[in-house]
Amino acid sequence: MKTIGAGELRAQNAGETVTLAGWVARRRDHGGVIFIDLRDASGIVQVVLNPDEAPASEEVLHGLRSEYCIQVTGTVRPRPEGTANQELPTGAVELAAHGLVVLSPSAPLPFQIDERVDIDEGLRLQYRYLDMRRTRMAGNLRARSAAIGAMRRVMDRGDFLEVETPTLIASTPEGARDMLVPSRLRPGHFYALPQSPQLFKQLLMIGGVERYYQLAKCYRDEDFRADRQIEFTQLDFEGSFWGQDEVLDVLEQIVVEVVQELRGEEIELPIARISYADAMEKYGTDKPDLRFGMEIVDLSDLFADTEFKAFAGVLGSQGTVRGINGGALGLARSGLDRLVERAQELGARGLVWMIVQEDGSLRSPVAKFLSEREIAAIKGAFDASPGDTLLIVADEAKVVTSVLGQLRLTVGQPEDSDELAFVFVLDFPVFDVNDDGSLSPAHHPFTAPADVDELASNPETAISQSYDLVLNGSELGSGSVRIHDPEIQAKVFEVMNIGAEDARSRFGWFLEALRYGTPPHAGFAIGVDRMVSILRGEPNIREIIPFPKTQTGADPLTGSPGRVEEDQLFQLGIDVRPEVRIGWAEAEEDAGA
RNA sequence: GGGGGCGUGGUGAAGUCUGGAGUUCACGCCGGCCUGUCAAGCCGGAGGUCGCGGGUUCAAAUCCCGUCGCUCCCGCCA
């Protein structure tokens, strides 16, 4: 139907007779001669329809409209002197048409297929098939495909075996909510869609597959965010006789290959590494954005004898005083007030700001409480220059760290930066300490602790052999060395408060498998959508997912999720609760009235 | 579960704070003119239940209440 792609035509094709097929991206009808910008998957080329050459009836020619699907046969020729278009790769040539067929006309469009305005996203999703004719989406789909291609190259190079694991599995209620699928053959029973292929890939290791990978669809029934959908894709891989170093080595290869593919840039190895403890200490988060410094500085010693009561009080009760140098923010009073409000929203009791004046003095609400010696020490601690804004929070360490970590992003995160700052965050703790002092597992219970005895004796400070890959302040994925010893696995369950009976009933099949010569193994999973969205500079992962869902989990194109026939429910042995049916009836009444 | 933003011809926006005739701009659409444009140009035209419901008022796109949708964030995401 076509002999070459529209976007492939170049000066050296001049003289050739070719057939193109694609869409009318734009038409410039001069009454006589008509120019058509013909777009297909390969690009755009200008087609010239000249009445003297009578390629088709007047009716057809002047009737062409936006996004008509057409086929054109003609001769490639250089454009006349002075009419070349530098903006187009094909701009040196044009197609002189001598035959044109409308393959399929188009109804008037719900929005224009160009980049002139930001269309409401709900409308874009409802007409996603039109949205993806636009260069933005077409480019993102290609980038996603290219990224996956690059990942597969690394996997192939490393002799990884691609294995598909099931997506209808047993629910293990822990961590995120499971997406459930009712079983017809066993009424009242449910499959869960996998949150990750975790246990299956470990079974593959036990099964002698020494290197495995999969582009795995994963499902987590939690609320949406700009970087979170309930359904998403991970590059999941695992290796036997591996520890952390082998995993990070593969990750570095993936990063290099993908960044090269998508941006043509060299990433320098090794990728930076930071411990979880250091990341929290310096940046107040386990996913630091290292495109900028602005490290958190501890000022507790400096304020040991302060006359400022708020600080003194906090320091007297095991608290801490820390701050960041926001640099030359140039904020007016209102902007500083907003920072104070922001800090309070984030959980701080207050925020003290100080601005270094030209004469070396500090402008600050608390300036009158500060001695000369303290002022000098503060400036020294922050390495402050005139114009710098210093932001200081006093509270218990956990609050101070998290507030300053987020304020750091508020004032420091670059807006239109194309810089990439990858970093491995290592040595995560086994447990997170909750506000009430209780412990909750920071990772799934198959993560190997650094030291089992330490885990038992000091669970709140115990380190696990787990690691994250972070890019520009976003977590791209995480992984760990897994437990391969059933005894250690049992101890971990115990410390995590999963009783032996409980563990057997939920994971008995897996504990059984561990008993048969399980090789030491380790692995990782990278969020493909998230990685591509950051590398493409997109603000959310919906731009990278071909058919994403809205924040309420709906698909405006197909109308999912939908209700089903009563008979379907009957066959599944399930019913919808009465209060939900009442809700349906009320909604229908409102719609009718 | 909670907080913020948005909703105005097909699209994008202005108008809303401070109530006074569906007013405006750009693109698109329809018709006419036009043989070298490339966001073609010029002339003319059509097109709106201001998301929906209720309230206040002589009068509501505008103020108030509710609701729906989209979005950003907190919680949540072992």
Q: Would you place residue A586 in the very low, low, confident or very high pLDDT band (cuts 50, 70, 90)?
A: confident
Distance between CA A57 and CA A240 in Å, rounded? 68
The gap between the terminal CA atoms of chain A, to the nearest Å, is: 53
For residue A548, what are the CA distances in angstroms to A232, A250, A300, A384, A541?
A: 9, 29, 48, 46, 8
Give the mean pLDDT of A260-267.
96
Through-space separation of residue A124 CA and nucleotide B7 C1' in angstroms = 16
CA A525 to chain CA centroid, Å, is: 13
In the DSSP assignment, the letter for residue A518 is P
DSSP per-residue string spanning A426-470 = E--BSEEEPTTS-EEESS-TTBPBS-HHHHHH-TTT-BBSEEEEE
Q: Select from A456, A293, A272, A250 the least CA-distant residue to A382.
A: A293
Residue A574: CB partners within 8 Å, gap ≥ 6? A182, A187, A188
Nearest alpha-carbon partner for A261 in A382, A399, A411, A153? A153
Query: Nearest nt to A445, CA vs C1'?
Result: B78
Q: Which of A287, A148, A282 is CA-nearest to residue A215? A: A148
Q: What are phi and psi of A228, to 5 degrees?
A: -140, 125
CA/C1' separation A345–B3 (Å) = 10
Q: Which amino acid residue lies closest to nucleotide B1, measuring CA to C1'?
A: A223
CA of A129 to C1' of B62 (A): 37
Residue A466 CA distance to nucleotide B15 C1' (Å): 56
| pLDDT of the residue at A242 | 96
CA/C1' separation A412–B8 (Å): 37
- Using the CA of A91, give the nucleotide whose C1' is nearest: B38
Question: Which residue gives the smallest C-alpha to C1' distance to B28?
Answer: A112
**Which among A491, A425, A422, A426 is positioned nearest to A465, based on CA atoms?**
A426
The pLDDT of residue A244 is above 60: yes
Does the pLDDT of residue A593 top 60, yes or no?
no
Residue A577: CB partners within 8 Å, gap ≥ 6?
none
Q: What is the mean pLDDT of chain A?
A: 91
Nearest protein residue to B7's C1' (by CA)? A120
Shortest-distance nucleotide from A79 CA to C1': B36
What whole-number percentage of chain A has pLDDT above 70? 98
Q: How many angstroms separate the CA of A63 from the C1' of B30?
A: 12
**Distance from CA(A120) to C1'(B19), angstroms, rounded:** 29
Could you tell me the CA-to-CA distances from A581 to A561, A571, A588 in Å, in that order? 16, 19, 11
> Which residue type occupies A149?
G
Q: CA at A117, C1' at B13: how many angstroms apart?
A: 10
- This complex has an ipTM of 0.93
Average pLDDT, integer, range A508-528: 95
Distance CA(A20)–CA(A17), nearest Å, equals 10
Phi, then psi, of A477 in degrees rounded to 5: 175, 170
CA–C1' distance A18–B38 (Å)?
A: 21
Mean of the pLDDT values across residues A30-55? 89
Q: What are phi and psi of A461, to 5 degrees?
A: -115, 0
Distance from residue A552's CA to nucleotide B1's C1', rounded to whole Å: 14
Q: How far apart are alpha carbons A419 and A43 in whole angstroms?
A: 28
Q: Give, as ranges, the nucleotides of chain B with any atom within 7 Å of a protein CB.
A: 1, 10-13, 27-30, 33-41, 67, 69-78
Query: Tell me, in Å, how far CA of A109 is from C1' of B28?
Result: 9
CA of A88: nearest nucleotide by C1' is B38
Q: List the one residue out of A306, A336, A301 whose CA is nearest residue A320.
A: A301
Using the CA of A220, which nucleotide's C1' is the nearest one? B77
d(CA A249, CA A229): 29
* CA-to-C1' span, A243 to B34 (A): 74
Query: How far is the C-alpha of A341 from the C-alpha of A407, rounded, in Å?
Result: 11
Each residue of A91-131: pLDDT tens digit?
999 999 988 999 999 999 999 998 888 899 999 999 999 99
* Arithmetic mean of pLDDT, A9-25: 95
Nearest by Cα to A166 from A189, A136, A130, A200: A200
Residue A567 belongs to what H/E stretch? helix A566-572
- Which domains does chain A carry? 6-104 (2.40.50.140), 138-276+422-543 (3.30.930.10), 293-412 (3.30.1360.30), 563-593 (no CATH)
The pLDDT of A432-443, averaged and rounded, is 77
Which protein residue has its CA closest to C1' of B53?
Answer: A590
| Sequence-ordered list of residues with C-beta below 8 angstroms from that of A524, at least 6 positions apart, any chain | A236, A237, A238, A247, A250, A251, A467, A469, A477, A478, A479
Percent of chain A clearing pLDDT 90 (strictly above): 66
Burial class (CB in 10 A: 0-12, 13-18, 19+), A65: middle
- Report the 3 state secondary structure along A41-78: CCEEEEEEECHHHCCCCHHHHHHCCCCCEEEEEEEEEE
| A473 phi-psi bin (left φ>0, alpha ψ -120 to 50, beta other) | left
Whose C1' is closest to the CA of A222: which nucleotide? B77
pLDDT at A315: 87
Q: Which residue is nearest to nucleotide B71 (CA to C1')?
A: A551
* pLDDT category of residue A137 using cuts at 50, 70 and 90: very high
Query: Which nt is closest to the CA of A37, judged by C1'?
Result: B38
H-helix or E-strand spanning residue A522: strand A521-527
- Using the CA of A36, give the nucleotide whose C1' is nearest: B38
Average pLDDT over residues A177-190: 94
Closest among A393, A193, A252 to A311, alpha carbons compared: A393
- Give the nucleotide with minimal C1' distance to the Cα of A32: B35
